Structure 1
Amino acid sequence: MEPDEYNFERNGFEDEDVSGEPSMGQPWNPAKIRITTKNFTLREVVEQIDYNEIDLAPEFQREFVWKRRQKTRLIESILLGIPLPAFYFNQEEDGSYQVVDGVQRLSTIHMFMRDLHVLESIDLEYLVDLNGLTFSELDVGIARRFRSAQIVVHVIEPQTPEDIKYDIFNRVNTMGSPLSAQEIRHAMSRAPSRAFLKSLTDLDSFNQATLFAFWKRSPDMPDGWAPDTQRMMNRELALRFCAFSYYSQDLYRSYRSMDTYLVDYLRWVDGRTPGCSSEELERMRGFFHSAMMNAHLVLGDYAFRRLSTGSKRRGPINRAVFEAQALALAPFSQGELYPK
């Protein structure tokens, strides 16, 4: 099935969460919160990124959406000695960091110091004499000052419980373009769960069942289309399906909220809690594929959408409907649904 114009309307996904997830309302225990403030030079930060000691979370924050002008203005601000807003890092048990707030800025700094961004006068406001230069072409003194510039980082230490970390990130996530809940979960997760969720949303069965709602026009691609994560809403759907496959009322009551349950499920996929195996993930992938195939077979173009009485217009994908329909259809074979 080829994508059509209708599937890419901005109402292709219903962002409102109508699933009615309750919060357990358990208060934080301040004694469990461990936050320290550290200063890093830009030289230190870039070296740690190169050695994978700082994780910029691939595909995170809308796959690095800053424009050339934004990048250049940030670099110019640093060259002018203007302090940057504080960053937030999540620290793992092995001492490595995940960037939760500041991905765009650190990505820009890393690109510039590795000669992957050229300064252009049309974007510079004051330092127009730097037009056409990369970092390695800067005056030695200017380059040294840039490398020595410091940033302030608030570090959420490993001793802080995961559910409290999630709440902290959610609270501080108020500047610029606020991150979605799934983007925060993505930042807190590791490579295995990121790859697993991506593999699910890359399935042809998922894209057919959702009518390619998570694709967009892209003149840079050979066929004119490219995946559109829409703030990782597609991966949130896949995550909820997998996590809810293990759902029980007793299990849910042990968590403060559904968000903390989803974060803990990602920890399980990442191997940070025992029990997950490659065989189990492969079984779940097959279960998800079956759900998508069956939804497309039974519900066609109206899969995962609320139906309005008397209306023939196809509505947007709804999270709660996706969960209910996908989980209900997953256990059946197509022969059981349409016996010959």
Structure 2
Amino acid sequence: MSQQEERSELSEVAREPREEYFDNQPLGIELEEEDPDDEEPIARPWDPNAIRVSTKTFSIRQVLDQIDEGDLELAPDFQRNLVWKSPQKSRLIESIILQIPLPAFYFAEDEDGMYRAVDGLQRLSTIHSFVRGEDFALHGLEYLQPTVGQKFSDLPQAWKRRIFSSQLVVHVIDPSTPTDVKYNIFKRLNTGGSPLNSQEIRHCMSRNRSRAFLSDCAAMLEFEIVVGGALRSRVRMTDREMVLRFCAFRLLGVEVYEEQRYRAMEPFLDEATRRLDDPKIVSDATLEQLRQDFKQAMTISHEVFGEHAFRKWPLKRDNLSPFNRALFESWSVALADLNTRTASRVREQIIERARSSMSADAEYITAITTSTGDARKVRYRFQKAAEIVRESQ
């Protein structure tokens, strides 16, 4: 690296990290920046014959019955994170009453014949809550103003029948389609009014075993304490993604990340989710040990770094920076095997070395700032954190 390039990288320290925003609100999470010169690695080629998608037509009544009977899963614990606003919900119902065709839905079918909805999840949830739950009244309509303020039970019987008989076009991905292909299909076709992010798609595609595990870990007091208010709102499931990142690197390691079939964060996290869902790969005992490892990592991280845990903290800057994903995954894994007594003894040495790296090590600064999914940068930040912990003891 030339001196000019090094000065450019070190200049990252001079400016405040930028925060992510959602719905015009700061999230307290550092924006992950991408280098425009970096290209996303190409996944291994797919076999077109392995991609099996069929098109079916269901009435809304059939779909509602499937949801009620448990044959169509909407990931219930995901509902509180749906991001549609009330006017969007009302206008969807208005479109159905007006018999305006809705965009296609996408389901994944499992080996037991059960469906999981990903694309169209918000629309299905809205229809179900209006018809079966009557959770909201219509307002903000464009054409059916006399209906404003009415719930489903208030509608004319003819309109109720119209809603029930409306036909939905559904593209169903066959269970024989490889899991990673399913994820990528949904990422390509995720077209809703408020598109789901990768973790939300992963959540909907996964099984209850991994979902329950990630939810339990994200609800740990130790986790809430060390991340402060940054992930408290649980917007867009960032809290569960962080738990999953710890689990992925703890289980698989950087070596697996560097394999040609991964070398990017999303396929790596997809693979970790698949393993967490399969008790033949990750046993109940291993899962429980992983839970204890995560708890210990959160406890020690707070013991060492306090409120600055998983945040940039260069020398000569003591203000609280936004939560940083790259620091979380590398430092949580590096500290997971320390006990409280050792952590207390080496705390000052770790802090000194970590802050020095965040101030003067240009390669480390870029590894936690720009294109953080690059395999070389992942390797470097994990090595650096492990090296600091080892040399501090």
Q: TM-score range by the shorter chain?
A: 0.7 to 0.9
CA–CA separation in structure 1 for the residues paired with 2:254 and 2:305: 28
- Which one of the candidate residues 340, 352, 363 is aligned to 1:334? 340
Q: 1:232 aligns with which of 237, 245, 268?
A: 237
**RCO higher in structure (CA 8 A, sep ≥6):** 1
Q: Structure 1 residues 70 and 21 mapped into 2: Cα distance closer, same or farther (>3 Å)? A: same
Task: Note the alpha carbon deviations across 1:8-39, whole angstroms, 9 max, x for none.
Answer: 98251124167999736312221111111111
SS in 2 for 1:269: helix
Amino acid of the structure 1 residue aligned with 2:99: G
Structure 2 counterparts to residues 115-154 of structure 1, below 5 A:
115-120=133-138, 122-154=139-171
The change in CA–CA distance for 1:262 and 1:86 in structure 2 (over 3 A counts) is same
2:174 equivalent to 1:157: yes
Q: How much has 1:175 moved relative to structure 2?
A: 4.6
Is the 1:62–1:229 Cα contact (8 Å) retained in structure 2?
no
Larger Rg: 2
Counting only pairs closer than 5 Å after superposition, residues 89-238 of structure 1 correspond to structure 2 as: 89-120=107-138, 122-215=139-232, 228-238=233-243
| Consecutive aligned runs of 4 or more in structure 1 exceeding 4 Å deviation | 17-22
CA distance in 2, matches of 1:86, 1:285: 39
Match of 1:218 in 2: none
Letter in 1 for 2:111: E
Please report how far the alpha carbon of residue 131 of structure 1 lies from its aligned counterpart in structure 2 after TM superposition: 4.1
Please say if residues 246 and 294 of structure 2, whose CA atoms lie closer than 8 Å, have aligned partners that are also in contact: yes
Deviates more, 1:200-209 or 1:250-259: 250-259
CA distance in 2, matches of 1:130, 1:283: 55
CA distance in 2, matches of 1:196, 1:208: 19
Among 47, 55, 79, the residue aligned to 1:29:
47
Distance in 1, Cα, partners of 2:115 & 2:63: 10
Shift of 1:141: 2.2
Instruction: Name the counterpart of 2:56.
Output: 38
Question: Cα–Cα, structure 1 residues 185 and 330, in superposed 2: closer, same or farther, change >3 Å?
Answer: same
TM-score by length of 1: 0.86
Q: 2:276 aligns with which of 251, 269, 273?
A: 269
Q: Is the 8 A contact 1:69 1:123 kept in 2?
A: yes
Question: Are 2:290 and 1:284 equivalent residues in the alignment?
Answer: yes
- Structure 1 residues 166 and 335 mapped into 2: Cα distance closer, same or farther (>3 Å)? same
Query: Are 1:241 and 2:246 counterparts?
Result: yes
- Normalized per residue, the structure richer in helix is 2
1:112 touches 1:118 (CA, 8 Å); kept in 2?
yes
1 CA distance for matches of 2:104 and 2:186? 13
Instruction: Determine if contact 2:118/2:201 at 8 Å carries over to the other structure.
Output: yes
Pair 286,174 (structure 1): closer, same or farther in 2 beyond 3 Å: same
Going from structure 1 to structure 2, the CA distance change for 1:338 and 1:129 (only over 3 Å counts) comes to: closer
CA RMSD of aligned residues (A): 2.6
Q: Which amino acid aligns with 2:338?
A: F
Structure 2 unaligned spans of 5+: 1-20, 347-393
Deviation (angstroms), 1:41: 0.4
Letter in 2 for 1:268: R
Identical columns (%): 45
Match of 2:66 among 41, 48, 56: 48
Residues 199, 238 of structure 2: 8 Å contact kept:
yes
Q: Partners of 1:330 and 1:18 in 2: how far apart?
A: 29
Describe the shift of the 1:250–1:204 C-alpha distance in structure 2 as closer, same or farther (beyond 3 A): closer
Which residue of structure 1 aligns with residue 81 of structure 2?
A: 63
- 2:291 maps to amino acid: R
SS in 2 for 1:231: helix
* Cα distance in structure 2, aligned partners of 1:78 and 1:43: 13
* Residue pair 1:62, 1:231 contacting (<8 A) in 2 also: no
Partner of 2:97: 79
- The 8 Å contact of residues 115 and 135 in structure 1, kept in 2 or not, is answered as no
2:320 corresponds to which residue?
314
Q: TM-score, normalised by structure 2?
A: 0.75
- The number of residues matched between the two structures is 320
Do 2:30 and 2:324's aligned partners in 1 also have CA atoms closer than 8 Å?
yes
The alpha-carbon distance between structure 1 residues 238 and 17, as it changes in their structure 2 partners (threshold 3 A), is farther
Q: CA deviation at 1:80?
A: 0.5
